[in-house]
Amino acid sequence: MNRQRGVVLIVSLVFLLLLTLLATSSLQNATLQEKMAGSVALRDVSFQAAEAVLRTAETHVLTPGFALSKCTTPRTCVPPPEALTLTAAGEGGASGVIWRVAPGGFFGIQHLGETEDLIGMPSPARPQKLYRVTAVALHGASRTVLESVHTQERRVLWRQRQ
């Protein structure tokens, strides 16, 4: 009879050990899911802020009488590389873009030149000036960079940079 009581104790300790391992694993899984959900939430807030900054910048381009000097070299006409590392408004890097503060982030505008042939759109009565608008939003550890190409009448193209 005494031998059976010892076996019951060992079996119950093994079950207790298994339950402890299961609880620890579940806790680690829940912690990981919480971190992933927080990361997704930061990314979404950053994206929404970048979209708001982009809209703010686009209103500048759509303002009657808006003018900006045309970029003159390929280095100043490419998408500004500093947008992926920039942390504050001010004078840009090699691109020469001047970054301006907007609620939620900052933006830069480049005048790319003029065109009479906008793909997929009816021919305009006059040449259209093309502007690249780059918006940057930082929220926590998340950075979102959005770009759009505009004429002085409407958005032609939009993309998110990685």
Could you tell me the pLDDT band of residue 36, with boundaries at 50, 70 and 90? Answer: confident
Retrieve residue 42's tokens: 């930061």
pLDDT of 92 > 70? The answer is no
State the pTM of this model.
0.76
Q: Kindly tell me the burial class for residue 119, based on how many C-beta atoms sit within 10 Å of its own C-beta (0-12, 13-18, 19 or more).
A: exposed
**Cα gap 56→84, rounded to integer Å:** 20
- Structural domains of the chain, count: 1
**Which domain, by its residues, includes 8?**
3-161
With pLDDT > 70 as the criterion, what percentage of the chain qualifies? 91
Q: Kindly tell me the burial class for residue 136, based on how many C-beta atoms sit within 10 Å of its own C-beta (0-12, 13-18, 19 or more).
A: buried
With pLDDT > 90 as the criterion, what percentage of the chain qualifies? 36
The pLDDT assigned to 5 comes to: 66
